[in-house]
Homo-oligomer: A and B are copies of this chain.
Amino acid sequence: MRSYYPVISALGLILMIFGLLIGFPLTVSFFMHDGATAAYDEALFITFAVGFAMWALTRHSKRKLRTRDGFLLVSATWLVTPVFAMLPLMFYLPELSVTDAYFEAASGLTTTGATVLSGLDTLPISINLWRCFLHWVGGMGVIVLVVAVLPILGIGGRQMFKAETPGPIKETTLTPRITETAKGLWFAYVLLTVACTIALWLAGMDGWNALIHAFSIMGLGGFSTSDASLGAFNSVPIEAVTIVFACAAGLNYATHYLVIVQRSWRPYRYDPELKYFFLVLAGSTVMLTAYMYAQPDHADLPTVFRLVIFQVVSMATSLGLTTTDYATWPVFAQLWILFLSSFAACSGSTGGGIKMSRAMILYKQVFAEVLLALHPSALRRVKFSRTPVATNILHAVLAFGFIYMACIIVLTLVLGGSGLDLISAFSAVIACLNNAGPGMALVGPAQNYSVLTDFQTWVLSFAMLLGRLEIFTLLVVLTPTFWRK
């Protein structure tokens, strides 16, 4: 037990900070008189007290955190914080089950945005603020996790962003130490969130909705203040702003930071993923607009384009806000946008899925294998960002691509085995594993996840966490080898 003290101590610190964050909706609730104040003070006290106890009882351990502890700390943080994040929801909505409350909180922190709640429009403003604030905090966590922690843990080829390639991080002044890196990235994150809030406000949202949705958009979360999601606003300017900032959030925050620090657009030009990210979005928009316009009962072209570009960008970036019930679209269009969510977002963004960088390497490697079969003597190495990809990184990325698909199959089988229909099961797994949000059929954009059984809800909570922790981080902790002395 004693050997876990450093992890427990660090987790205690994180919980104390997380407890203090509950002060934000508490303050808002207090000044807005929205009747939810009582839900927060208890939650704040419990979270801070538990965190303090954990920290105080174990802080005398002087041992430093090692790689092994890193896996445990990261996994434990993402598994445990939803337990405390759900407290305000449970206190305000006593009829909410623990299963559903944990799902909602995990959906917030993992920036998945799948909800079990309905009647969002009538909830107190501070509750909706808390839900979307979880996205924003989760997004902060993700950025640090992916850019600073996972490369050290060496998960799924993440190391390539550390030293092997002259990627955006290495060639500049970003210091390798986690805290400095985190500060730089958070600076870009906060700045973009402020800009997004102002833009949404200028586009016609009231101040609170603008802030709440900016949290949701920059974290690529997808919770909203209405059951109709962003469709409730029915506003072209708001949709345009959302599209712009969803695209920004889908890029590598490290690149944003460099642009801000260097006061030059050049880092965007050298980002190895950016071009393909926009190519995929633009190509899919054009293709699906044409496809939808070719349907027998199509609307006029501007309307079709407006609907398609929003759902494409929102799902491809894994934001998951919607402006229409696209469950009424042909199944091909639904599948396509669900498919986009699995790879379009860039590394170092708040998006989900396998990320554009891995998708590029996987594509190139498959292509290289085809050529290799043709010219066995040719020594062809897959390049990323103009540099050959090291063998260990290539293995890691290939294994990641494979296990990602294996997770989809296994979890779909588990949900199917529990009685869920195949389309709902498959799409729910993809939507949760990619941290995208809406799926198809029973869990489609106009539905919500409350129809699922407790077992199915837990499976999907697990899928969200698995996706957010890039699968391996959590898998490593779940192996018996990890716990062996």
**Which residues of A line the B interface, CB within 8 A?**
67-68, 71, 153-156, 291, 330-332, 335-336, 339, 362, 365-366, 368-374, 376, 391-392, 394-396, 398-403, 405-406, 409, 412-413, 416-419, 421-423, 426, 472-473, 475-476, 479, 481-482
Contact = CB atoms under 8 A, between A and B. Distances in A.
Contact of A372 (B154, B330, B406, B413): B154
A282 B367 CA distance: 37
A94 to B, nearest CB: 35
Contact of A476 (B373, B473, B475): B373
Given A331-B421, A365-B395, A405-B405, A370 B475 contact: yes
Nearest to A371: B481
B481 A402 contact: no
Contacts of A394: 395
A177 B69 CA distance: 55
B416 A373 contact: no
Closest 6 CB pairs of A and B: A332-B417, A398-B398, A369-B399, A332-B416, A405-B405, A366-B403
Given A336-B413, A366-B403, A395-B398, 14 more contacts: A154-B376, A156-B369, A330-B417, A331-B422, A332-B416, A365-B402, A368-B399, A369-B396, A370-B475, A370-B476, A374-B476, A394-B395, A402-B402, A405-B405
A267 B386 CA distance: 49
A362 B402 contact: yes
23 contacts: A67-B376, A68-B374, A71-B373, A154-B372, A156-B369, A331-B416, A331-B422, A332-B416, A332-B417, A365-B398, A366-B402, A366-B406, A369-B395, A369-B400, A369-B403, A370-B476, A371-B479, A371-B481, A374-B476, A395-B398, A402-B402, A422-B422, A422-B426
Nearest to A409: B339
A391 B392 CA distance: 10
Contact of A374 (B401, B402, B481): B481
A309 to B, nearest CB: 19
Contacts of A418: 332
Nearest to A382: B395
Nearest to A153: B373
A427 to B, nearest CB: 9
Given A331-B421, A335-B412, A399 B154 contact: no
A362 B374 CA distance: 23
Contacts of A426: 422
Contacts of A481: 371, 374
A366 B368 CA distance: 21
Nearest to A473: B373
A441 to B, nearest CB: 9
Contacts of A336: 413
A300 to B, nearest CB: 23
A402 B401 CA distance: 7
Contact of A335 (B365, B376, B416): B416
B332 A370 contact: no
Residue of A332, A368, A373 ringed by the most chain B CB atoms within 10 A: A373
A361 to B, nearest CB: 11
Contacts of A399: 365-366, 368-369, 398
A422 B421 contact: no
Contacts of A476: 370, 373-374
A374 B422 contact: no
Nearest to A418: B332
Given A71-B374, A405-B405, A369 B472 contact: yes
Contacts of A71: 373-374
A422 B71 CA distance: 38
A51 to B, nearest CB: 27
A423 to B, nearest CB: 5
A380 B20 CA distance: 44
Contacts of A368: 399
Nearest to A150: B373
B372 A335 contact: no
Nearest to A333: B417
Contacts of A403: 366, 369
A481 B378 CA distance: 13
Nearest to A369: B399
